[in-house]
């Protein structure tokens, strides 16, 4: 059974960047091969990792919806084939992207494909990193379930922290099989205010640590460079690695 880590948080807190740092850490410590899953319809984990997306599960869903299944092929076989085609292979990890279906309507069908895909692929990988969409829908849709560690990423704002708390509470209420939950504060500029420390302590969620705001990280992002390539000496990378040491201890 794969050791699965899921990341969640409101938009703009740097969740995907943290996911990239986690994959960088796992590759360094030989926790491979990894199946990296971008479960966000507005995907960009591939940019953090520096790989090109050639296909998505959303595309597979749309092709099936449009009736482009070849004659003589069942839908199950067609979807299985397309799922295999959607896996992007790298040296130490593979990436699969949910993507955004075309047209109007909800993304429930694409999410169902993703869940089925994870169930099929999980036996082939000892580690899975699941980068969820922003907010809470992935919890209510049960895209995130049966995970060993749920990393909730928040920024050093009261709203960001409250959003993280709500994600944690919903995960508990739905009994989705989360073994352990961790809170990371990202993009922290001048330390954590005492009031935030009090709120975190009252919530009871395990506080894994702080990743500081970093100019080099900002430059990488602004230039479109994959942040997984940042040097390990970078303060933000070092802080993230210390957090991951704690999670994997």
- Domains annotated for the chain, with CATH where assigned, are 3-248 (3.40.50.300)
Q: Which of 169, 173, 164, 174 has the alpha carbon at shortest distance from 208?
A: 164
Angle between helices 15-28 and 235-248 (to 10 degrees): 70
Cα angle 66, 68, 73 (rounded to 5 degrees) comes to 130
Q: What is the pLDDT of residues 107-152, one digit of tens each?
A: 565 556 656 766 777 778 999 999 987 655 555 454 556 788 999 9
Separation between Cα atoms, residue 64 and residue 191, nearest integer Å: 50
pLDDT value for 177: 77
- Tell me the C-alpha to C-alpha distance, in Å, between residue 105 and each of 62, 86, 101, 109, 119: 12, 22, 9, 10, 25
For 219, the 3-state DSSP assignment is helix
What integer pLDDT is reported at residue 103 of this predicted model?
Answer: 54
* Residue 220 Ramachandran class (φ > 0 left, ψ -120 to 50 alpha, else beta): alpha
Summarize the confidence of residues 167-195 as an average pLDDT.
86
Q: Which residue has the higher pLDDT, 60 or 195?
A: 195
Q: What's the whole-number average pLDDT of the chain?
A: 84
**Cα 191 from Cα 143, distance rounded (Å):** 33
pTM comes to 0.88
pLDDT of residue 142: 44
Task: Please work out, in degrees rounded to the nearest 5, the angle formed at the alpha carbon of residue 242 by the alpha carbons of 48 and 249.
Answer: 110
Q: How much is the average pLDDT of 69-97?
A: 83
Whether the per-residue pLDDT at 63 is higher than 70: the answer is: yes
Enumerate residues 6+ apart whose C-beta is below 8 A from 57: 82, 83, 86, 96, 97, 98, 99, 110, 113, 114, 117
Alpha-carbon distance 182 to 7, whole Å?
Answer: 10
Q: Is 228 helix (H, G, I), strand (E, B) or coil?
A: helix
Question: Which range, of 81-90, 106-115, 216-225, averages the lowest pLDDT?
Answer: 106-115
Higher pLDDT: 10 or 93? It is: 93
Which band of pLDDT confidence, cut at 50, 70 and 90, is reported for residue 94? Answer: very high
Tokens (6 digits) for 210: 């702080």
* pLDDT tens string 19-28: 999 999 999 9
User: What is the Cα 44 distance to its own chain's centre?
Assistant: 10
- From 80-84, 99-103, 231-235, the region with the lowest mean pLDDT: 99-103
Q: What is the DSSP string of 114-160?
A: HHHHHHHHGGG-SEEEEEEPSSSHHHHTTSS-SEEEEEEEEESSHHH
Give the per-residue pLDDT at 101. Answer: 55
Residue 91 pLDDT > 70: yes
Give pLDDT, residue 100: 67
In percent, how much of the chain has pLDDT > 70?
88
Which pLDDT score is estimated for 140? Answer: 43
pLDDT confidence of residue 157 = 86
- The pLDDT score that the predictor gives to residue 193 is 83
Q: Identify any residues that bridge with 88 across adjacent strands, giving them in sequence order.
A: 95
Q: How confident is the model at residue 49 (pLDDT cuts 50, 70, 90)?
A: very high
Percent pLDDT > 90 in the chain is 40
Please identify which residue in the block is written with the tokens 């397309």.
Answer: 82
């Amino acid at each position: 059974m794969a050791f699965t880590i899921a990341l969640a948080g409101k938009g703009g807190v740097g969740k995907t960047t943290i996911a990239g740092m986690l994959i960088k850490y796992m590759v360094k410590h030989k926790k491979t091969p990894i199946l990296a899953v971008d479960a966000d319809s507005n995907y960009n984990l591939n940019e953090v990792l520096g790989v090109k997306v050639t296909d998505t599960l959303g595309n597979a869903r749309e092709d099936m919806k449009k009736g482009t299944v070849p004659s003589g092929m069942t839908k199950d076989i067609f979807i299985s084939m397309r799922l295999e085609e959607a896996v992007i292979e790298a040296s130490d990890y593979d990436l699969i992207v949910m993507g955004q279906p075309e047209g109007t309507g909800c993304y429930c069908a694409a999410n169902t494909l993703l869940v089925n895909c994870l169930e099929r692929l999980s036996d082939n990988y000892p580690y899975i990193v699941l980068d969820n969409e922003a907010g809470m829908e992935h919890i209510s849709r049960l895209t995130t379930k049966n995970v060993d560690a749920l990393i909730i990423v928040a920024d050093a704002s009261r709203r960001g922290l409250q959003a993280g708390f709500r994600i944690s509470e919903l995960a508990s209420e739905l009994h989705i099989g989360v073994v352990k939950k961790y809170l990371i504060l990202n993009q922290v500029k001048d330390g954590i205010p005492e009031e935030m420390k009090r709120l975190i302590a009252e919530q009871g969620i395990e506080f894994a640590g702080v990743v500081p705001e970093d100019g080099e990280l900002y430059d990488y992002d602004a230039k479109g460079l994959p942040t997984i390539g940042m040097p390990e000496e970078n303060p933000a990378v070092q802080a993230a690695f210390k957090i991951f040491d704690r999670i994997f201890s």
